[in-house]
Amino acid sequence: MTDTPRDEPHPTAPGPWPGAPGTAPLGATLPTATPRDDTPPAPRRAPGVRTAALLTAAVLAAGATGGAVTGLVMHDGNATTTVAASVSRTGSTVTAASRSTGGTPETAAAAVAASVVTLEVTGTQPAPGFGGFGGGQGPVSDTGSGIVVRSDGYILTNNHVVSAAAGGGTVRVTFSDGRTVAAKIVGQDATSDLAVVKATGAGDLKAATFADSDKLEVGQTVLAVGAPLGLSNTVTEGIVSTLNRPVATGESGAGPQAVLDAIQTDAAINPGNSGGALVDLAGNVVGVNSAIATTGSSGGSQSGNIGVGFAIPSNDAAAVADQLIATGHAAHSQLGISVGDAGTPGATVRAVTAGGPAERAGLRVGDVVTTVADRRVTDANSLIVAVRAHAPGSVVTVTYTRGGTQSTAQVTLGTASDTR
């Protein structure tokens, strides 16, 4: 069961978040939000040719576990279920320093080409209202990308790529060799903006190998592979610009707690790249391309690449993919609090769930959380990322101030499930 409230910005905390009152509907372009001191200019999703909902900077790691794990544990009340990992992983990555011996863009592109697919999606989404009245549902066609994670047809993508098809629409997969087959949605997770589909009648596919994203280095060469603007089998080159960048997903139905602990890259990412692979020079997946930054426009048109793109780290993506394949949904860590920005570095506790992890550890309303484990907390969103960098059930050290005095607490993280 999901505790309420979750670890999310309090409703009175600074916003706005995509989909919240006062923001534009999916597919529109908002004016650039005023960034916080540590945030990039208004990022947005880079889904299909249809959408590119603006994102505000924030943070979330989706129930992440370590890199080369063989299984993960899901906690639901008193029950514990072991989910065997099905995504192929390796502990190695290729760094910028070893480019000459570890691979080239050409060899990396060739290695991953057969594992990246193009997705064509039809369905419905809420139509814009007029004069305060709802607009009902409208037809949608979308193009995005996906990554083959199992040879028997399981494909990982962004939830925002396929969500329109969840109510009875269609998903079709085109492989790098031109074959096209139907697919069905296996599981969705709006909080991490990830989903898994299964290609019908597909076998002997080449599954991608996921590298350990914890070993990524700033400046490392990476390639973005996908179908920008519907142009399948496109490869672009860049570097890892920074790590652990807070980016809100803007995913409908997920709430403001849906934020990514993103890899920022200058590899060109455009609408249609969403769900595609960010790979190292060995051709191993280090991230799932999910969002782009935009300077904003009042005209409502979709902006293209400006050199600031965001990807979900491979460790987070692989962990969620394993859960979606096994159970159809994913679980995420939580403290059991609502938080807001403190005005100074840290996140202020606005509400505490009765009987939740934070209350049991002694946290109170008004405390200002400054670190979780080894992660510095600068604002409400960075707290979400810091918490979700650990699996449910993990024991973490939380540092906070109360009345000007710094203290620490050992907190056993709870579980928030997302069935979207």
High-pLDDT (> 90) share of the chain, %: 52
pLDDT of residue 21 exceeding 80: no
Instruction: Kindly indicate the confidence band of residue 263, based on its pLDDT and cuts at 50, 70 and 90.
Output: very high
**What's the token pair of residue 252?**
């409908």
pLDDT of residue 385 exceeding 50: yes
Select from 33, 358, 404 the least CA-distant residue to 350. Answer: 358
pLDDT tens, residue by residue, 283-314: 999 999 999 988 765 444 456 788 999 999 99
Q: What is the CATH number of domain 332-418?
A: 2.30.42.10
Q: What is the value of pTM for the model shown?
A: 0.76
In DSSP terms, which residues pair with 411 in a beta bridge? 396
pLDDT for position 313:
96
**Which are the catalytic amino acids?**
160, 193, 274
Distance, CA of 271 to CA of 273 (rounded, Å): 6
pLDDT for position 413:
93
- Is the distance from CB of 335 to CB of 411 less than 8 angstroms? yes
Going from N- to C-terminal start, the domains of the chain cover: 332-418
- Is the distance from CB of 268 to CB of 238 less than 8 angstroms? yes
Q: What is the mean pLDDT of the chain?
A: 76
**What's the token pair of residue 254?**
């997920």
Q: Report how far apart, in Å, the C-alpha atoms of 154 and of each of 14, 149, 206, 368, 405 are.
A: 39, 6, 11, 43, 51
pLDDT tens, residue by residue, 77-126: 333 333 456 677 776 555 444 444 468 999 999 999 999 999 999 998 77
- Is the distance from CB of 266 to CB of 238 less than 8 angstroms? yes
Pairing state between β 8-9 and 395-402: unpaired
Instruction: Kindly indicate the confidence band of residue 322, based on its pLDDT and cuts at 50, 70 and 90.
Output: very high
Least confident of 70-74, 108-112, 331-335, 374-378: 70-74
Instruction: Kindly indicate the confidence band of residue 33, based on its pLDDT and cuts at 50, 70 and 90.
Output: very low
Instruction: Kindly indicate the confidence band of residue 53, based on its pLDDT and cuts at 50, 70 and 90.
Output: very low
